[in-house]
Structures are given as structure tokens and as C-alpha cells.
Amino acid sequence: MLQHLDLSNNSLIDRIPGELFGMKQLLSLYLNGNMLSGEMPKQISSQLENLDLSENHLNGSIPEDIGNFKNLLKLDLSHNSLSGSITSKLFQLHDLRHLSLSSNYLSGVIPDEMDLFSLYDMDLSHNQLTGSIPKGFQYLPGLHALDLSYNQLSGDISKSIEYLRPRNTLRLCSNKFSGRISSEFVKLTYEVNCFDESNLCSTSNNRKLLRSQHLIIPIVGVGLAIQLSWIFYRTRKHWWKTKKQNVKDDMKFISFQKLKVTTEDILSSLKDKNIIGNGGSGKVYRVVIDQTGNTYAVKSIGHGEKSGGRPQKEFLVEVRTLGSIRHNNIVKLICCISSLDRKLLVYEYFEKQSLDKWLHRKKSVVSSGQSSTPALDWQKRLKIATGAAQGLCYMHHDCTRSIIHRDIKSSNILLDSEFNAKIADFGLAKILSRRDDNPETVSAIAGTFGYIAPEYASTFRVNIKTDIYSFGVVLLELTTGRQPILREDQMNLAQWAQQRYRDGNFIVALDEEIMETSNVEQMRGVFKLGLMCTGASPSSRPSMKEFVRIVLTLSDTPDGAGSSRTNRLLGSQASEDEVNMTS
């Protein structure tokens, strides 16, 4: 008799079989950390006590039949693409102790009627919930932690907080509350808290001012001068102390993952000797936490006064984008730390670093004087191309609103210990307002020279095909081993590759360092895909769904038997002014 089923952190795809929710004896079901898509099963009549579907691609609304989970103790649907309102039946599960619906696209108001007598913690953060905080929260006697941050909740916060009685954690920041409450009350009441500064006020400063007024006694001569000097000294000292304290208090810590790390752990490791990268928006540090032994990559972004606030905008874009999506081929944002003069983004760290350092290692070795690293063999390159494509496919097709990266390049594809691709650096990402292929106008060009689609550079208009062009350049890097800009030929890699193909001599364009008889057909197939992705007409470029389907066919045919299938699938899309994809 099966009572516990754990299929978490695999690569499961497609819909969740409805039969799983109908298994009468099943008590625990863990499907988190996969690539499951579609809607949750509608018919639910299970005796489940623990259900974890987090970190998948589920969409649609939370089914009404969720109320049939009468024995449910833990429910985690976080980090999906669920939309619609929260059904009131979910808040009638009397035995539920742990509830997380964070990082979805849930909207509407929070149900007011709550029969959650056993609830210990609730996380509804990073959604699109509106309305005021319902009074029903005051009837949750065992509530220990509540996170409603990053929504669109409104109302007078001084009145709303009367209904909230979590014992330890209360997070209400990044909403639209009016009014103010005492910051001293918040600090004394909640060990972990997050409130917008505009909703806090200080009562201690007023008391200190009143106390200082009693010291100003009418005296004459030298006595008055001494007294005034003393007051000036004390006031200045207090001002400096308060300023330092305010900077410390302003430091906001927002976590997107479960981790044992503090702000002090991160800040103490931001030293020059730990710098592993230096870009236009800031520095990247390698941070090792001694207590846990975990390693993180920390991106430090300045306040941006000298650059029109661009770093600040990139910080907000990256937090909003990565804070709401989860995929095995997209880098995970662990937490972010924000203060008046510094923004920190903390990611998982990858020892293999970025793809460009492996593909273009000869140039980096010459410039740094380091010993040579082995060439990246073809099977690893094909694995990287497939993984990066699956990450892009999720962004373009599986999110509620399509996300375009706008800076896809080999240096923004990180590699884990098994050479799995992780798309990184979402500072220039854009969430499209509609799901069709019609391009949207932007105010400025973003991206990297050599990867920017020609129509984007000339019209300032973008859609998902803009990313596909950039990804095509990465494919050409993988198959040729060449840089995106060929200075000796005074052209970019896409132009160079198209020229070699037209000359009928493209086989010499492939990277001879790794080319073998057993993989030449696969390399030729991916090279052709790169040509198609970098074609002049955006409409003729394959979608990422099409690309993933084709490259998986290539991966399943090591001898290259899938090459003709690749030509059949894509050859019909090529227009007369582009390369002919048939052999």
C-alpha cells in the first residue's frame, strides 16, 4: 500500500495525472522542482496530508475541489504560474498548518472567512492580491508567521494590523497601504518583519526632543555659553549615532529560498580578494559562509546616481523577474539585500562559471597567463544548448506573460558541476504586455554588440524573436568555437557563418578541435539551427518550442540521422532571401 510518493527535483514534464489525487491511501505527494505544466486536476478526493507542487510550471486557477483535502496539513503551490482568485474553500481546511502560495499570479481579495484554527504559517507574497487585510486573520490563534509582501494590498495599515497576530514574523512591505505605525512597536513585536518606510513613524525621537528641552534653562553669561555648547555637542553626537542606526535599519533582507545566512554574513565577505567579475552595473563576489560551507555569488549594484538610475532599475527588474519564476535552467535568486546606497543580489554559485570562459578559453588564458583548460567536448555543448533552450522556452511560452531576456549571450549562461545550463543576469529583461508575436517599442537598445538582432537595433522594437537571434549567435559559438565579433574579418559571427554557408564550404566553419566523425552530423544540424535563428526575417526564426523539439531529436540520434528531419522541419520556413536549410 503506497502512502508516500516523492518524485521531487527530477525533470518530469506534461500534466499531473489526475489519478494521483484519487489514490485513497496516499498520504504524502512531493512533485516539487520539476517542469510539470497545465492546470491542477479538478477532481480531488484524496486523503493527502502533505502536498508539495512548488517550483513547476502549473497554470490556471486553484480548483474549488481543493476543499476536499480535509486531512491536509501542508500545502505548497509556490513558484508556479497560477492565476485567478484564491478560492474560499482553501481557507476552510481546519487541520492545515503550513500554506504557501507565493510567487504566482493570484489576484483578487484574500478570503475573509477563515477556518484555519491549526495554521502555523502562511505565505501569499509575490502575487497580485488586492483589497484590504481581512478581519478573519484575528481568529487564527496559532499563527506564527505571515507574509503578504509584494502584492497590491491597500487600506490604513494602523487599522489593518489590529487583525494580525502572528507571534514571530510579519511581512507587509511592497504593498499600497496608507497610514503609519510605530517602528518601535514593529521591532518589539515581530522578530522578523518587513514594512515600507513610508508606513513607519518613530515615537522615540519626539520623547528625546521633549527631554532635551528641559535642559535649556535660562542662564546668563558663561553659564549660558557652556550650556549651549554642551547641547550642540550632544545633539551632533546623537545625530551621527542616529544616522548610522538609520542606515543599518534601512538594510532590507528579502529571502526567496530557505537558507541559513544573515545580512552580516554577506556584507562581511564583500572584499576585493573575493571579486570574480566586474560589469557595468557593479561587481560580483564569491562568498563562502563559514558556518554552513555554502558558496554564493553576490552581485553588488551601486545607487546609480551617475548613470541615470539604470543600476537601480536593473535591480528592481531582476528581483521582480527572478522572484516570480522557477526553472531548472534559470539561475535561482536566493535573496536580495537593499539599503540606501547599495543593492545586493545573492545567487547560487557555479564553480564552472560561464559558457564563454569555456568556449573562448584560449584568449582568456593568453591574457591571464593561466594554464590551459580542456576543450568543451561536443556532447557537453549539445547538452548546454538544449538546457539553455528549455529555459528560454519556459520564459517565452510557459509564463503567464512572456518574458524576454534581451541580453542572451555565452557569458550569461552559467554552468553547474554537471554542465547544465543556467540562464543568468535578468537586469535587462522585459515582461511583455501581450502573448502574441507583435513587437513592442522600447525607449533604448539593451544588449551586447554581436548578439543584438538587426531589426531591434534599427526599429527599437522587441519580441521573443529578439532573444532567438541572440540565442542563434550562442549556437554558432558552440559549433564554431569563435567569438561573436570577428575583428580580423570586420564582421559579426552571424554574418561570417551565413557567408560560409552560401559559399558551400560551411563544414570548415565547424570547430575542428572537437569535430569527429561521430558528431559531425549533429554539429552541422545545430549550426544550421544557428543560421535559421539569426536569419534576417524575424518571422522565419523558429520559436523556442520548435527549437527544443528539434534539438531533442538531434540528441536522440548520435549518428546524425535526425539531420534530415531538422531540414524538413525548418527548411520550409526559410524565405528566399535567407539561407537554404536543405542539404
How far is it, in rounded angstroms, from Cα 82 to Cα 64?
14
Catalytic residue flag (residue 489): no
pLDDT at 319: 74
Let me know whether 338 and 395 are in one domain: no
Residue with cell 544588449: 447
Distance of CA 108 to the CA centre of its chain: 24
* CATH code assigned at 181: 3.80.10.10
Any domain includes 102: yes
Structural domain boundaries enclosing 277: 253-348
Let me know whether 283 and 419 are in one domain: no
Any domain includes 209: no
Burial class (CB in 10 A: 0-12, 13-18, 19+), 549: middle
Global pTM?
0.58
- What is the count of structural domains for the chain? 3
* CATH code assigned at 327: 3.30.200.20
Let me know whether 380 and 262 are in one domain: no
Let me know whether 335 and 484 are in one domain: no
Q: How many helices (H) and strands (E) does the chain have?
A: 15, 33
Pairing of strands 4-6, 430-431: unpaired
- CA dist 224 → 125, 218, 227, 436 (Å): 57, 7, 5, 76
Let me know whether 389 and 319 are in one domain: no
Let me know whether 391 and 496 are in one domain: yes
Burial class (CB in 10 A: 0-12, 13-18, 19+), 90: buried
Q: Are 271 and 262 in contact (CB under 8 A)?
A: no
pLDDT at 570: 45
Pairing of strands 50-52, 28-30: parallel
Tell me whether residue 299 is annotated as binding: yes
Let me know whether 147 and 294 are in one domain: no
Let me know whether 405 and 477 are in one domain: yes
* CATH code assigned at 439: 1.10.510.10
Let me know whether 261 and 192 are in one domain: no
Q: Locate all alpha helices (DSSP H) within 394-463, ordered by sequence.
A: 454-459
pLDDT tens, residue order, the chain (583 aa): 788 888 888 878 888 888 887 787 888 899 988 888 889 887 765 688 899 999 888 999 999 888 888 889 999 999 998 999 999 999 999 889 999 999 899 999 999 888 887 898 999 999 999 999 998 888 787 888 899 999 999 999 888 787 776 778 888 998 999 988 877 777 767 778 888 888 888 654 434 433 444 444 344 455 556 655 655 555 555 544 444 444 444 566 777 766 667 777 788 888 888 888 776 567 889 888 766 678 888 988 764 444 445 566 667 667 767 776 788 999 988 888 877 667 888 888 898 889 999 998 765 444 444 555 678 999 999 999 999 999 999 999 888 788 899 999 999 999 999 999 999 988 788 888 765 567 888 777 888 889 999 998 888 888 999 999 999 999 999 999 999 998 887 899 999 999 988 888 778 899 999 998 888 999 999 999 999 999 988 989 999 999 999 998 887 765 554 445 455 554 444 443 344 333 3
Q: Locate all alpha helices (DSSP H) within 508-572, ordered by sequence.
A: 520-533, 544-555, 563-571
Q: Are 303 and 312 in contact (CB under 8 A)?
A: yes
Taking phi over 0 as left and psi of -120 to 50 as alpha, with beta for the rest, 371 belongs to: beta
Any domain includes 412: yes
Any domain includes 365: no
Let me know whether 335 and 383 are in one domain: no
Any domain includes 154: yes
Let me know whether 443 and 397 are in one domain: yes
- CA dist 29 → 21, 76, 84 (Å): 9, 11, 24
- Residue type for 478, please? L
pLDDT at 209: 34
Choose the final residue of a domain: 348, 382, 416.
348
Let me know whether 148 and 258 are in one domain: no
How far is it, in rounded angstroms, from Cα 573 to Cα 148?
48
pLDDT (tens digit, 9 = 90+) per residue, 35-78?
A: 888 898 877 656 888 999 998 889 999 998 888 888 899 999 99
Any domain includes 379: yes
DSSP 92-119: G-TT--EEE--SSEEEEEPPS----TT-
Active-site choice (147, 407, 425, 467)? 407
Cell, residue 567:
531540414
Any domain includes 58: yes
Any domain includes 355: no
In 3-state terms, what secondary structure has residue 574? Answer: coil
